[in-house]
Structure 1
């Protein structure tokens, strides 16, 4: 490296270092980044396209910053560049191609701060026409041809296609704008070869137009296959065939050829020279035998084909049964027979028939006829016919023995009500179809045919007269079957709807005394069993429920009480309908003995009230005190003097009592009041406390009143007569 170059590098380093120092000292803000496609977003192929990245950056010093621009296409980096100026960054797409189509963005990075522009789409339309070159224009069949297809000026991911008369013969993929391939042409003719290509982008695939046509002349090979079959006249089944396959006009240029002999899709032999094959002629159903001799040279195939018809020696046997329907254990006849045979070669007696399986088969004496007993389950038979060493098998005959009708049952689904339709069901086991016939009293009612498993025969009938009816079912597997099954007889009792309901009461009078017995008898017209229910009006719970075969029933209440007074009714049902009686109002009165008892009780109560009233009046009269006197005397009892021990003992058991005597003066009018002895005296007893002081009484004062009915005279009153000498004199 020379001195000038070193000097330049040194100065550039100093400049970049200084710029870096300056950048670290100033602040900035990336305001916006915009990508502009020039001249426009949609251009044709070959146009020069400019991607302009314009950024707006604000700085604190106004000095330049180191900026790193990145161009992205479909989110992948296309180009990156660092500049130190604020000018727009420009990226050139010279001679733009379809591969340049996509979404472009511009990213700006300043000291780690980045901003991305909005995406802009560039559409480049039009691909250049491909150019085809071949290494030769004249070839022999099977020789290789080398072709080159070029997409001038195009870039990207390519898929090239090569065509022979519009039929694709090769495909090549790659990143180069040209592709080479080799191929062989067969068939002596003029071939027109052309090519085309497609460019794949991330979003789509763009096809080109066709290239120029190049004509190739192909010369036919002289080698040809030869196929021979012996005999070549009428061929019968079982004849031996001799088949040969070879190649003619073989030259030195035909080295490496190979022969293939086939019958239809079956390859019989292969070889490098003449092929011989021997076989027995076997006819193919409705088709002739096809043989193919094919020679292959350098991927060129030539073939010769022949078809021969083989006359069938005898037809494929068929196996049939008689009768066509059999039941388990029934003897049937199986017949194995070939309808046609070649009378020029064999007689009918030459055919031998065999039945499989052939265990314990009784002989019928006729060729191909076998007597077989039907098994309990399904079973299969086949037969074979053989003549001149040729054996043919029939198709398999599947025999499904039928099951006779058994376990025939009859039932009724609904209740049988007079003059209403009801359902009768018949069902049995056995093979379908099953024919059912219904009889009523040995008279046929109808027939049904059941063709599905687990289905019942459904009959409808109506009985218009009361009484018992007999039903039965008959069934057989088909109308022509000679075995018929019959069910047991089903007895049907007709239910007559209930009517004319009556409700009777015993006793007949609806007024009854307590303690008596009350009976309700409810009766209807119809057939049983009948369920009777008894109700009191207003209640949904029956008093009694009774089911009986009779057409009447009763409800007994004993003994009745006053609470049994109410309205009663009954309901009856027998499965056909329900009827209700009218309401019966029952009134229960009180028993006579209760009435007498109440009268006696009332009289006794009245007498008691009278006595209580009299006693009350007497009590009130005794308490009433008439004060007619003008003077009232009051005595206070003194403390008792010393008495004998006996008296003290008697006194100690009683509390200290003070007595006050009030003497009421009576009128001395002899004309009004008769003269009586004695006085009327009222005593008030006051109980003293044990300490001698008078305490207030706990329950008030107890007043003793002694009333003397004898009239006394005031002039004859003597205080001493009452033995109260120690009491003080009465004070007015």
Structure 2
């Protein structure tokens, strides 16, 4: 990186991009939360537009309201566009601070952060960061004077720039290579035409949504001279078995004039006078390289964030006899605090949390060769998966079992296990999407013989807890009894209806009578296998009664019982008593009347003649 062009106090300004998330939760229950608003705050800066080399910090802030004292695990995820660039799991309530030191144009884009707590995720609004200012490219060429038809190598340096770069080279006002942008900063070409050529370059930083183009570089003048039609004699010694780094004796003769040159097979230069005549004739094929271009390799096929990794830089072909005991040395670029040298060409350390590039250089006898760029894309490891079911697990029916890791780079392979046996496998290619498995419940009790694993690479899979969902047995039968017997029910007495049933509690029981089967007499919920309904009857309660038992699976109705309410006992006793009383009263009245009639005859005595007449 270049030194900051701004003063130290300006460099200390940190744009803070703050995403505020509000959560609420209740003790011993899953978190309930909602996002009230998301604010974007830039400290000491008027906007999100900053200049190159400014230290930028993104602050992700979440407000979590909780009634408990236990620390909540928070999973922070920082995105640039739709790509995850940083993950962190913490139980701290402090804000997440993600830094972009010495910002470059390649850091331009939309950023957002997400926080996941107990499987519930919230994402902030996107905040756009715009960095202005690019380094002026520097052009270098390996030759300032060439003969017509000779090639030239130009190098365009974009000092301190990061990201994906494309380069363009110009010869006078025309673009070299038909106007194509090149991924390499180095271009070998043959200038067309004799005379002075003004060479300059520029570069692009590929970024979304639009690339950023640099200023034009410095202009380097290249002189192209025509060939001379003279008799030239060129002698090279030695002319065979030549290696990189060997010293050559070159003699170039023109019209009886000779001059000797001693040079090596590094880029060599001849004076202008003889360069015109000899350069085109000097062709030398090396029989063997002193050493080949090195190859940089990483120890693991898949690299996860903060994994221990080993980088090995090696040249596959070496000429040991020509090295003459001098060792081939390797260096790593960039050599930062993440990597430590553990031997010549071996570097060990921890993988970063973002994509990163390395190259290595092999050097001996003043010759240096650089490897191709090795790009490492560290993956986010999967977290311990959670397992749950959708709805209720009902005996004899299908149920969907879900398995999800809150973090992890897709694709993630989820495996459902039943009693230590592999049951089903699903591969999920989307971030934060659960795998689902459909099974048929054919066992009672609990589903604790199910669990799942998650894996996104060559690592030991993460294991979930056992599924703790209870199996709901459907209601199969309901039976109704009445106490006392239906023949002994009379007005004024209590009647108890007893409903018995089979099925997984809790069970909701409703009591009905035929005359009003839409409105239950009573509704109750119980965890036992029976319940009762007691009431005092009168003659109006004569009807057919039944109960309906319902759980989370289904409902069943009992048999119907015909309840006939008889007359009260005192009424039954009153009727014969009344009859006896009436009969007794009638008998008594007859007896009284009879007695009175007898007594009247005894008091009245007619004359004898009259009496005789009467009794005659």
Q: Same fold (TM over 0.5)?
A: no
TM (norm. structure 2) is 0.45
Higher relative contact order (CA 8 A, sep 6+): 2
TM-score, reference length from structure 1: 0.38
